Structure 1
């Protein structure tokens, strides 16, 4: 189990969590790319372990998800599906992305032509992601 300690760009928000299987995920959905001007890199954590202190602002980005950012500097903090309440913490909060390795790309078929990750890891299309993660009555909405 990995202990994670991170902070936003200005240091006003601090995050502590544990991760049973620390990996990196990259999401290329339209919302993630608009949110951070690129893919959203995140670390799945143990939901009950997440502790956040500081000025957090929540944005309800769709009918079934929210995103959070530091109210002071605007750093991305997490993406969370409302159904399972699991926060996908932004990898940039942690030095060296907490030393993790990219294992999963989601919305991989939405990746802009200007960049691509190399290496062997799982890649899921938009349709595969919506089938796995979206509540069945909300599958038409984007993340």
Structure 2
């Protein structure tokens, strides 16, 4: 890992290459309906310093405004989910699986646990937060 903590990653086809600096070396999972539909499962994510995201060829990235407060980035060629970020730039989460060597991230928490469907469960011992607990931490998205 570079001295500044920046890590590299890319999409499935390799067209969308990026670097970002994780805030911590752990992964969180979101079970909300939007993330499950967008990712095809759970959104396994690493919170990164918002200003650290650098895309090699920004023209390769598609951006979808999924709500009034957030947008989701994906490869415009293969469709790989890459990031979720607040439109105001205050929060950025990057797909853990898009980074090189994603196994380096410890599985720390699950959010929107009360929205998780009953047909799967993780065996890991994680911190679990409900929708109400998450929205209490981020009142700007609760509205």
Structure 1 and Structure 2 fold alike (TM over 0.5)? yes
Residues 106 and 126, structure 1, Cα contact 8 Å, conserved in 2: yes
The aligned residue for residue 51 of structure 1 is 54
Equivalent of 2:11, from 8, 11, 26?
8
Q: Does 2:113 align with 1:108?
A: yes
Q: How many residues align?
A: 138
The aligned residue for residue 42 of structure 1 is 45
The aligned residue for residue 93 of structure 1 is 98
Q: Does 2:31 align with 1:28?
A: yes
Alignment TM-score, normalising by the size of structure 1: 0.88
Q: How many Å separate the matches in 1 of 2:36 and 2:47?
A: 19
Unaligned runs of 5+ residues in structure 2 are none
Q: Does 2:136 align with 1:131?
A: yes
**What is the RMSD of the two structures over their aligned residues, measured on CA atoms?**
1.6
Q: How many Å separate the matches in 2 of 1:61 and 1:102?
A: 26
Unaligned runs of 5+ residues in structure 1 are none
Q: Deviations over 1:63-101 (max 9, x none)?
A: 111101100000001011224432201112123425111
Q: Deviations over 1:7-31 (max 9, x none)?
A: 0001011111222411101000000
User: How big is the shift at 1:52?
Assistant: 1.1
Structure 1 residues 139, 123: closer, same or farther in 2, change over 3 A?
Answer: same
Alignment TM-score, normalising by the size of structure 2: 0.88
3-state SS of the aligned residue for 2:65?
Answer: strand
After the TM superposition, which of the residue ranges 40-49 and 100-109 deviates more from structure 2? 40-49
3-state SS of the aligned residue for 1:67?
Answer: strand
The aligned residue for residue 75 of structure 1 is 80
Q: How many Å separate the matches in 1 of 2:139 and 2:41?
A: 22
Q: Deviations over 1:79-136 (max 9, x none)?
A: 112244322011121234251111111101111111111222211101111111240x
